[in-house]
Amino acid sequence: MAKLSIRDLSPAGKRVLMRVDFNVPQDKDGNITDDTRIRAAIPSIEHLTKAGAKVILMSHLGRPKGEKNPEFSLLPVAKRLGELMGTDVHFVEDCVGAVADETVSNLGDGEILLLENVRFYKGETDNDPEFAAQLGKHGDIFVNDAFGTAHRAHASTEGVTHHIDQCAMGFLIEKELKFLVEELESPKSPFVVIMGGAKVSDKIKILERLMEKADAFIIGGAMANTFRLAQGYDIGKSFAERTDEAMELARGILKTAEDKNIGFHVAADTRYTREFAANAPTEVTAPWAEGGSVPADAEGIDIGDKAIEEFADIISKAGTVIWNGPMGVFEKEGFDIGTRAVGKAMADNSSALTIVGGGDSVTAANQFGFGDKMDHMSTGGGASLELLEGKDLPGIAAIDNV
């Protein structure tokens, strides 16, 4: 169902309360180490300020557990936003109460105010109606542009919408819905789904849903270990879901793929090590189909050379590619070969629609310099997964329909 967009608003002279996702990483000294999420919100903020709105921003940062904690203050974020936008960004050391109310009331047209961390109050994550009403007092219009928290029914994402008459989505959420929903309704074929990460059980609903449309699946990361174990192969000390339930789940997926005639490509070989450290010596198994195995004293940490070759070939012929989950422990140098190769293959296929579905995959794509070559890099981890599963996200469901 179509949602009211920031494009549809007439915000001149009005107070626009906007939920953004400024949950950015910081070093031990409080310096922001990655401002991607701040930059992602700027188009919506600029659109509103140029229209003459009074923009009141709210966000969370970290997990202060409902208590005021200077470690999680948004003051450094306000400073960084001001630097990026080349304008003053006001800041108030609370998000509700008399001081916050007065600061909001003194805001001029076209000005920006960032409220302090909403998670300094337990009412935020509890979606407490009273706390949501206090937040709602700050706005004549509500705009949600925090896709990364849209799967949470919190006071600042869902509760506040019950206290403001007009609720719209920002450009960021609009873009996420375009690529993760609209573009995947009828994807250009061949439609290839790349899945990695740790657990099959975490992504079973996505696998089942995308099997209705996908032409091929590529499986790497620790997920591949679980499938190989379910097939009876020796995976040594490799991480895998080793329960009977997980084995049954994996075998069921393989059977469904076979019945539907879907190409289900589990990594053909595995790169393994006996020392879990950057640049540790590694070896590659023989192809699993030819009797390959991981030694009992070793663990798989990446896909092997044959898998890389096969995966790159499949990706090069794709019309649509969606990637969720790394191929191995890409954070450690020497264990990142497969993840880097998959990202490069996607970046090299200029004719395909390429979507990176949030979380570690986005981190990897950026780390290896492929991010700007993808059509869409999702800003949501859990939100992306739930949207791909076909779930209704509370923060999006609460936005007005049109």
**263/310 Cα distance (integer angstroms):** 12
Token pair of 18 as six digits: 């906007």
* 112-134 CB burial, b ≥16 within 10 A, e <16: bbbbbbbbbbebbbebbeebbbb
Based on the residue annotation, tell me whether 199 is a catalytic residue of this protein.
yes
Tell me if residue 359 is catalytic. yes
Contacts (Cβ under 8 Å, ≥6 apart) of 389: 205, 206, 209
H helix and E strand count, the chain = 14, 15
Dihedrals phi, psi of 88, to nearest 5 degrees: -75, 135
Report the C-alpha dihedral over residues 284, 287, 290, 292, rounded to 10 degrees. 40
Provide the token pair at 31.
Answer: 């310096």
Identify whether the C-beta of residue 262 lies closer than 8 Å to the C-beta of residue 323.
no
Does the active-site annotation cover 52?
A: no
Catalytic: which of 325, 359, 381, 395? 359
Q: Which of 79, 137, 199, 332 is catalytic?
A: 199
CA distance 356 to 372: 11
CA distance 99 to 109: 19
Cis peptide preceding 190, ω within 30 of 0: yes
Kindly name the residue from 52, 66, 110, 382 that is annotated as catalytic: 382
Find the catalytic residue in 37, 175, 306, 344. 37
Indicate if 228 belongs to the active site. Answer: no
Residues that are catalytic: 37, 199, 359, 382
